[in-house]
A and B are shown apart, each in its own frame.
Chain A
């Protein structure tokens, strides 16, 4: 028997060494101590909170001595679970170091019509469709709306959330942009969870927030951080700087600044409620220096997000990464390869939640065709991430001997026993010989992805919510609409 055996149970991947993580974190601490951040506009509540934390406040400029940040890091949990909408374990997400899962994104102003492929505005019904399709896809673990509806600002995220929670029982991430909106959404979420207490036990959604770059905070979003902390709503502090634009052009500089930015929200959250569930998040990329956009397809996005995952893990915090997106205007070869790169690298980096699958055109357009295609890629990536098992059974020297020189394995028992688990079986990628492929219609992957999407649209039904819950949601929406109309 073999002893003293250390294996890679999965592939191992690192961008930064521990020393490099340490350097960046120390530098971030230094930025918070020396440069600090600025809070725009006044709020007694937030000011008091900051003083309570130990921050040094000079007008708008707020600095954190390192011990303040350290205290927040000490209380922040590294592990948490987000459940299906009614507390179901089957669709839950385990947030633990190096446990990965994938999901969609939100906020696109345009949408690729799921049936016609036409590029158009995003509508309320699309949130329902997106949730239903995501519900059907085996490699999508959490749901976001993939768009943003053009209605009264106070109702955008509320409608999206209501549609999503009615059409999937997978956990939902919402970009609820104001405190008022979070409050309404929280009503819906707790109603579905079965009450406030039930929600605390088994949270079923996360709020996506965003510190601003470089190094400033607005009051409304900050109040949202506090609200989430107090109600134990898992909160994602997702910074989105552009290298050379709103953060230093050097990748390390961007990591330092981003770390500082999310730590400011961490301090606020942990001061408001020590132990509040908090994730570091990042959509870190370069500003494309020809077009001025945040490039979602750039290799630097993957590099930065992977490094940020490592830094988060180094600090003992979970991480919400970005992948499966593209700068391409079409679901074409560029979309395929850019999305694939980022999905593989984010998986290798061990990020806990990997969002934005389905983003075209640098997050301007959401596409379910793209989501379906990338769902296949995630399956492929997961197979890679499972690595190679090296055991006497898998090395199979007895089988090699049995088959012998010049033999063949097709009819060997060993092959029958193992091929279904050893191999990955594509559902969309085509491996037919030319004639068979031609006979089946000569279709590109894009075409097959559309066909698969059509099947899902036609056939998949998400489990429905119980009647009383649906009524309750209806009431909450009506109240919100009335309030919005008054404004």
Chain B
């Protein structure tokens, strides 16, 4: 393992954006491939962060800082991926269901998914079913994540799943749902593929979905 990539992992863990950007450029100059840098410099650092987080040694703001730092590097590497055929771990569309303007939970999930190496398209809040459908058509994601904070807006999740069905897109994506009033029972009832009670579980579930 190249020393640069080890140091890059450490910089990701420590949330040192300047170091990571510098090391990214240095790595590219030394001829390392974007994929190598992604896997062994960035994702490896975030994997360690994930472990530390699960053990209770690191906390959400620190995880998000590491994710942010990782993305400073991705801003440089991103354009090079297309050239070299490198893919991110997966593609995710997230949004808060129609009529719901609460987004802290969704934002947390989005940020942690990015930290895990997913490409995330955040549709924001109050997202109608047809907007989800259009986004799926356009971006062809692996996963659609819908969040709701109010029991009154939860029905929108069902609407979105039905709309995807009608549009013939349902089989192309995995749908996961979450939010305080959502239960696994409800998720099953509406035909979602998964229910995540918190952001870390959502990320783990997303990883399972793309590796299956």
Contacts and interface: CB of A to CB of B under 8 A. Distances in A.
Interface in B88-113: 101-102, 104-105, 108
A97 B92 CA distance: 52
Contacts of A363: 180
B59 A290 contact: yes
A290 B181 contact: no
A156 interface: yes
- Most chain A CB inside 10 Å of its own CB: which residue of B108, B152, B182, B185: B152
- Most chain A CB inside 10 Å of its own CB: which residue of B53, B151, B186: B151
* Contact-size category for B: 20 to 34
Contact of B152 (A177, A245, A246, A291): A177
A292 B199 contact: yes
Nearest to B62: A289
Given A109-B151, A148-B151, A150-B151, A292 B105 contact: yes
A153 B152 contact: yes
B15 to A, nearest CB: 15
B121 to A, nearest CB: 21
B152 to A, nearest CB: 4
Contact of A246 (B56, B104, B198): B104
A292 B152 contact: no
Interface in A64-97: none
A290 B101 contact: no
B151 A293 contact: no
B150 to A, nearest CB: 7
Contacts of A292: 60, 105, 108, 198-199
Nearest to A177: B152
A249 to B, nearest CB: 8
Contact of B183 (A109, A212, A290): A109
Contact of B151 (A156, A242, A287): A156
A245 B104 contact: yes
Contact of B180 (A40, A109, A121): A109
A293 B60 CA distance: 11
B28 interface: no
Contact of A244 (B53, B61, B152, B182): B61
A412 interface: no
B76 interface: no
Interface in A152-181: 153, 156, 177-178
- Most chain A CB inside 10 Å of its own CB: which residue of B53, B60, B198: B60
Given A244-B61, A290-B56, A292-B108, A156 B152 contact: yes
Interface of B is mostly: loop
Contacts of B51: none
A218 interface: yes
B80 interface: no
A242 B150 contact: no
B198 A287 contact: no
Contacts of B150: 177
A212 B101 contact: yes
B167 interface: no
Contacts of B104: 242, 245-246, 287
A291 B198 CA distance: 7
A252 interface: no
Given A109-B180, A148-B181, A242-B104, A287 B152 contact: no
B210 interface: no
Contacts of A330: none
A177 B198 CA distance: 25
A380 to B, nearest CB: 31
Nearest to A246: B104
A227 interface: no
B183 A110 contact: yes
A289 B53 CA distance: 10
B101 A216 contact: yes
Nearest to B103: A246
Interface in A15-55: 40
B198 A293 contact: yes
Interface string A354-377: 000000000110000000000000
A109 B181 contact: yes
A289 B61 contact: yes
Interface in B49-96: 53, 56, 59-61
Contacts of B182: 109
B152 A364 contact: no
B59 A289 contact: yes
A110 B181 CA distance: 9
Interface string A277-315: 000000000010111110000000000000000000000
A471 to B, nearest CB: 29
B198 to A, nearest CB: 6
Contacts of A121: 183, 185
Interface string B148-185: 00111001000000000000000000000000111101
Nearest to A218: B101
A289 B61 CA distance: 7
A55 to B, nearest CB: 21
Nearest to B107: A245
22 contacts: A121-B185, A150-B151, A153-B151, A153-B152, A153-B155, A156-B152, A178-B152, A212-B102, A216-B101, A218-B101, A244-B60, A245-B104, A245-B108, A249-B61, A287-B60, A290-B53, A290-B56, A290-B60, A292-B60, A292-B108, A292-B199, A363-B180
Q: Nearest 3 pairs between A and B by C-beta?
A: A153-B152, A289-B59, A289-B60
Interface of A: 40, 107, 109-110, 121, 148, 150, 153, 156, 177-178, 212, 216, 218, 242, 244-246, 249, 287, 289-293, 363-364
Interface of B: 53, 56, 59-61, 101-102, 104-105, 108, 150-152, 155, 180-183, 185-186, 198-199
Given A156-B152, A287-B104, A292-B60, 4 more contacts: A177-B152, A178-B152, A287-B60, A291-B198
